[in-house]
Amino acid sequence: MVNKRCLQQAEPTLALAPSLAKKHAKQALKTMPILFSHGFSFKTCPINIDANQAKTNQIPVDGWKPYFGVRKVQKRVCMAVLLFKSLLFTPQGAEAGELVFGNVRSGLGEGIKVDSGNVQIELKGALGISTIIRAESPDTALTSGKGMSTHNDGDLNYEQGDVVSQVLDAYLQANLSTGNYGLLLSGKAWYDQSQLNHSVPHGHVSNDYTAGPLNDSGFATLSQFSGVQLHDAYVYGHFTVFQKALELRAGQQVIPWRTPTTILGGIQQVNALDFAGLRRGNPLPETMSIPVSALYARLRMNEQLSLDAYYQFDFLPNAYPGCGTFYSSNDYAQAGCNKLTLNGAMLSVLNNKPISTNDQQSSTNALDYIARTTDLIPNEEQFGFSFNYKITEMSSLGVFYAQYTSRNAVIQAERSGLGVFLPNKAEPVSIAGQYRQAYPAHRHLFGLNLSQRLEGGAGLYLEYSYRPNQPLPWNGADFLNGILLGIGPLKQLADTATGYIAQGYDDFQMSQWILGAKSPLPAAWGANATLAGELGIRHVHNLPDPYEKRYGRSGFGMAPSSAFPACTGPQATCDVAGFVSATAWGWRLKYENDVPVPSGNWVLRPSLSFAYDAKGYSEDGQFSEGRYLSVAGISAIFQKNHQLDFRYIKTGGGLYNLQKDRSSFMLSARTTF
């Protein structure tokens, strides 16, 4: 059925060859409610055209109008789809963070110490191997459901029982010191035999969707299947200034603002995180953060008060699993995943009938994918400082401020100019439009934390963080309708000019509270049993009603709004839910117990963790209502430095959880020194 309101808007804008234009416009409008309504499953984009061909065939020459002469409508159609599809980006930090919560405690051994007189050398390291096996079959709602065509490669590549990762990894740290000065060097290496050599049935955009091993050649270094990476590399010194103790560090380093929480989004985000590494079985805490070149100083004013400050000279974003891998839920956003497949959407408009193509067909047809341009990675000023006050021997208070560049990207679209037709033909040969990842700069963070140790080994932790300009990504379906038809919450985007870059987000004030506690349990629970828990609450200030304007919610299609209440088409998801909410909260629990084996050399460590997102949705995926994660594991530790681990990780719940079918088994062994 033709949307009469849309047609009324279209008819006054028909350009040359009015009868032909009107015919094609009506046909396009007949198919648009069906094909566009679900989001990414129908995607069109501006076509490249040649000016002479445009004149010969009476085509409006601005690079954003179709050869059949529809002016304003097709302009909206084309740009809308480019932006709409590219903006349905799923932040993956929380998904990786879920596994952080499941990790057992880790660390290096006592090390090897060498004293050569004036120089002392201390070496520490670890060597490990791990295997991850998929524990359940893919959920068809996620592999072929509404709007899932650009979110399902990782699901389609692995069946139940498949080995999704088999990694050998190593870490080495060297601390050279003489007197009050020193040099700290560390590095890590990894080799994922399964990812490098295992054939997958679906593939990904980097190997043109062919069966066989995935291609990681364009991935970010930390996301590749094998590599050797310098980690820490800084010099340090201890000085006395005006009878105050001063510590200085210069070089590649992690800023020591790490907190004892598994809920992200607080003061620890001054460091980028290696989520790709966190997915490789059983990583060390020393490798979870990504160091950059920086200058760091800490000044101890007295026994109670200390000040610290840092300045980062470089920027590195969070590292995520590459497209097509098991834990990836986005097929085009990460580095090396450089085509946004349209799966027949542009072809449908050009041929005035529904056309569906698979990923392989789409990725090899220049009219059926959108190319990626250079990502926007700023290197703006990043710095921060904090005050830490020791209230008593058992409690301390910290106050923090930082200016930083967002470690998570947003997807933006660049509207390009004229392109090319085949010679002497009125047929387009490629698409004039590109997408990119961008990292918003000049973000501000204010933080406050309080820690309290209690009698008997218990402890409390409280953290509050405030971000006055936190970017929230636009909802993709609203983006589409705004540019396509000039309706909906983003209708002002309908008439943007050539060269326009859609930033893809708005800034909001955001607050987050985290309460954590850890306590020994009574002997009935085990002689060395502990229970740790966290409660996290996030609030977005002055967030519009989702019926007026909304953010987030990837891969689940369109929803009605006050500006356009209609919700039609078989692919529409007509619930006003799943978007970033004003308030979101969840909780985490972990039980752990050390059980000595009578022989005296072994310790068994059973553990059970559970995470639940009780209400609301956050912009970074930290909270997704109804989602849960449980981790049951047991570790066998021999003489403190040798450890075997087995874990079952169960994911599920949540109507808008893109990874609810990624349950897995994990086996690992590690030795440290």
pLDDT computed for residue 57 by the predictor: 33
Confidence band for 572, pLDDT divided at 50, 70 and 90: low
Specify the length of the chain in residues.
Answer: 673
Give the tens place of pLDDT for each residue, 237-273: 999 999 999 999 999 999 999 788 889 999 999 999 9
Lowest-confidence pick of 187-191, 282-286, 505-509: 282-286
What would the DSSP string read from start to end of 620-656? TSS-BTT-EEEEEEEEEEETTTEEEEEEEEEEE--TT
For residue 465, give the 3-state DSSP assignment. strand
In the chain, domain spans: 4-672
pTM: 0.82
- Residue predicted with more confidence, 428 or 404: 404
pLDDT at 215 over 90: yes
- CB-based contact 32:335 (threshold 8 Å): no
Lowest-confidence pick of 43-57, 369-383, 571-585: 43-57
pLDDT at 98 over 90: no
Give the tens place of pLDDT for each residue, 531-548: 999 999 999 999 999 888
85-112 as b/e: b if 16+ CB within 10 A: bbbbbbbbbbbbbbbbbbbbebebeebe
Average pLDDT over residues 434-442: 91
What integer best gives the mean pLDDT of the chain? Answer: 81
Average pLDDT over residues 29-46: 32
CA distances from 73 to 49, 57, 314, 485, 490 (A): 17, 19, 44, 7, 16
pLDDT computed for residue 425 by the predictor: 42
pLDDT computed for residue 352 by the predictor: 81
pLDDT computed for residue 485 by the predictor: 59
pLDDT computed for residue 481 by the predictor: 64
Give the tens place of pLDDT for each residue, 499-537: 778 888 999 999 999 999 999 998 878 779 999 999 999
pLDDT computed for residue 69 by the predictor: 29
Rg (CA), the chain: 27
Lowest-confidence pick of 24-38, 169-183, 410-424, 475-489: 24-38
| Per-residue DSSP letter, 207 | G
pLDDT above 90 coverage of the chain, percent = 58
- Distance (Å, whole) CA 167 – CA 189: 10
Neighbours of 294 (CB within 10 A): 22
Strand 226-241 relative to strand 272-273, pairing: unpaired
Confidence band for 15, pLDDT divided at 50, 70 and 90: very low
CATH (one of 3.30.2320.50, 1.20.1290.10, 2.40.160.100, 3.10.20.580) for 4-672: 2.40.160.100
Q: Which residues contact 423 (CB under 8 A, 6 or more apart)?
A: none
Which of 184-193, 273-282, 343-352 ranks highest by mean pLDDT? 184-193
Give, in degrees to the nearest 5, the angle at Cα 583 between 579 and 585: 100
pLDDT above 70 coverage of the chain, percent = 79
Confidence band for 351, pLDDT divided at 50, 70 and 90: confident
pLDDT at 11 over 60: no
pLDDT at 486 over 50: yes
Confidence band for 402, pLDDT divided at 50, 70 and 90: very high
Neighbours of 324 (CB within 10 A): 27
- Residue predicted with more confidence, 369 or 664: 664
- Residue predicted with more confidence, 60 or 573: 573
Neighbours of 179 (CB within 10 A): 10
Report the candidate in 233, 382, 236, 232 with the shortest Cα–Cα distance to residue 297: 236
pLDDT computed for residue 78 by the predictor: 36
- Distance (Å, whole) CA 399 – CA 172: 33
pLDDT computed for residue 146 by the predictor: 72
Confidence band for 496, pLDDT divided at 50, 70 and 90: confident
> Which residue type sits at 141?
A
